[in-house]
A and B are shown apart, each in its own frame.
Chain A
Amino acid sequence: MSLTILQKSELSDFIHRLMPHYRVVGPVESNGGYAFDEIADPDALRLDYPTTILPPKKYLLPPRETLFKFDRTNGGYLEPAPQDRPTVIFGVHTCDLHAIQLLDAVFSTGFPDPHYLERRNRTLIVGIECLRPCDEHSFCKSMGTLTAEEGYDLHLIDLGDAYAVDIGTSEGHDLLGLYASTTPAKPGEMQRLNAVISEKWPKFPYRLEFDVSDLPSLLSLSAKSPLWAELGERCLACAACTNVCPTCFCFDVKDEIELDLRRGERVRIWDSCQLDEFATVAGGHNFRKSRALRQRHRFMRKGKYILEAHKHLGCVGCGRCARACLVDITPVGVFNELYRQQEAGSTL
């Protein structure tokens, strides 16, 4: 880890210099909240944002993405998808950094996914250290995502009138070298950094009533819990929870065609395991017909299946799904309830 200092007054210039070469995105005010969006005016960037509705995932796995184009008249001539501009994402919280690491794992294991990986390779990530919880829904500390050792090219820590910049990769180093004016960290700034970091931790509460390392086994034991049925009663199957999730990656694939019925493209679009038709096959059989089963699948995936398949937990504690759910189905609530049920069961 090497540290330099970027004065806040220099940030705007940094971004301006990036703009001819990169698509620069980051959190901006939107709709009474915040959203990651393309930055046209560096002053619109809000690095001290609490949270966003959609995570920065949308720049790596877009909600709708062309897989290839075709022309049916020309023997089905196929053309690979066009590429996005190289992108710098500013202001990624540590929970989202963890989520991106999971996505990296998902899309590079087995058949590597060229669409994701190409985009990922052309994306630089500038993280920002969280100094206070986004709101009452975040539970990053419990999930072990309140800090990130890797997954960023640059990482910013707010020291008041300057950012301490932690350089994570050589690409990050070059970006800074080419486009930003920074100064080496002075001893006073190192001290401030230490103070900032040590002050932040107590501000974050632990919200799980057990250690996260017990989560997979807790879920294994909970396959038959009555809680799933209860969640099934409440759930609207609206998919808000999965659509806002930084680690969800399920998708549907569709063909779109022009009116001439010749040219078209195959696209992938976000899908959700919470929707009725997600596991329905021809003939009408639905492998997860009830909302209860779908909720179980969701939480099992977050706390167990994904970990087993990709060595990362499928939940990073960002709290987005909890904020989005109209019927208050939240990971913290669910996991703690399962834990209490287990505790009660094992002491019977």
Chain B
Amino acid sequence: MSQNGKPKVAFFDFTSCEGCQLTVVDSLQDHPDLLAAVEIVQFREAMSEKGEDYLVAFIEGSCTRESDEARLKKIREQASIVVALGSCAHLGGVNSLKYLHPLDEVRRYVYGDQADWYDTYDVRPIEAVIPVDFVIPGCPIDRQEFISAVKALLLGKKPFIPDYPLCVECKLKENTCLFTRGKVCMGPVTRAGCDAICPTYGQSCEACRGFISNPNETAMRDVLTKHGLTVEGLTSMYTMFTTYQVRETLLQRKNANE
């Protein structure tokens, strides 16, 4: 807490497009009072001042090399609350496409088998390195959700991040389902919270917010294949942002079977 009673927050970036930080800046357009509610002590993209004393750390970007780990751990030591900001930090995100050669494995994920993964320093979400208290998902994050999360933290409650499928929001938007428009969509297994913005603008959901915690994978696979998706198509749908999750799930299944 700073002297004026405002909690000190800092923003950090790792491997990312910095679009989530930009979204934070954008959120000021509708919520200039954010600056009155918190004291920002570090935000490299937008300011030169640097404070090392902060309560909440918002971290953007994935961990992509060993040297990132030390920096992450330092942040974790200082911050009481660590929030992963956006898909790269939350899931590994689009960065994890970098290692996407083993399409076979993803295929096996989708088809429920186990797989062998090679071991390498891979792109990883920050939660794979340090404990994360909260996540604000999305590529990029949703402005409104960011502001709501800040308010929740200020109030001392957990930020509300939905754990139900995107279709919930998509229906309320009264979108004609993409599946009936001859496209396919990850909505039924993807975490809602973006107000189904992609289907609303006519594009398939690519699961940038990650999967819900209890997806019906089998039913989803049946739906996708029924709508003409080939194995390659399926693979590509499942890996845009979630390569890391798919791998992890597979590894867990493999270990569980051993």
Contacts and interface: CB of A to CB of B under 8 A. Distances in A.
Direct contact between A and B judged by beta carbons closer than 8 A? yes
Interface of A: 30-33, 35, 52-54, 63, 233-240, 243-244, 254, 256-261, 270, 272, 275-277, 291, 324, 326-327
Contacts of A63: 172
A277 B214 CA distance: 11
Nearest to A291: B216
A239 B151 contact: no
Contacts of B31: 259
25 contacts: A30-B174, A31-B174, A31-B175, A33-B176, A35-B174, A53-B174, A54-B172, A234-B216, A236-B216, A236-B223, A238-B164, A238-B165, A238-B168, A240-B167, A240-B171, A240-B177, A243-B172, A257-B151, A259-B147, A259-B150, A260-B37, A261-B154, A272-B168, A275-B168, A326-B179
Contacts of B78: none
Contacts of B167: 236, 238-240, 326
Given A233-B218, A236-B165, A326 B172 contact: no
B98 interface: no
Contacts, number: 100
Contacts of A275: 164, 168
Contacts of A243: 168, 171-172
Give the interface residue-count category, chain B.
35 or more
A18 B155 CA distance: 46
A246 to B, nearest CB: 13
A53 B171 contact: yes
Interface string B170-191: 0110111101010000011100
Q: Main SS of chain A's interface residues?
A: loop
B153 to A, nearest CB: 11
B220 interface: yes
A226 to B, nearest CB: 18
Contacts of A259: 31, 33-34, 36-37, 147, 150-151, 154
Interface string B199-225: 000000000000011101011101100
Contacts of B145: none
A54 B163 contact: no
Contacts of B151: 257-259, 261
A257 B33 CA distance: 13
B141 to A, nearest CB: 17
Nearest to A53: B174
Contacts of A238: 164-165, 167-168, 187-188
What 9 pairs between A and B have smallest CB-CB spacing?
Answer: A238-B167, A243-B171, A236-B188, A238-B165, A53-B174, A275-B164, A259-B33, A259-B37, A35-B174
Contacts of B164: 237-239, 272, 275-277
B37 A236 contact: no
Contacts of A31: 174-176
Contacts of B213: 276
Contacts of B172: 54, 63, 243, 270
Contact of B176 (A32, A237, A256, A270): A32
Contacts of B37: 259-261
A217 B134 CA distance: 48
A324 B173 CA distance: 13
A324 B177 contact: yes
Contacts of A327: 219, 222-223
A279 B216 CA distance: 19
Contacts of A237: 164-165, 214, 216
A78 B212 CA distance: 36
Nearest to B222: A327
Contacts of B219: 233-236, 327
B181 A32 contact: yes
Nearest to B214: A276
Contacts of B160: 254
Given A259-B150, A260-B36, 15 more contacts: A30-B174, A32-B176, A35-B174, A52-B174, A53-B176, A236-B216, A236-B219, A236-B220, A238-B187, A254-B160, A259-B36, A259-B151, A272-B164, A276-B164, A277-B163
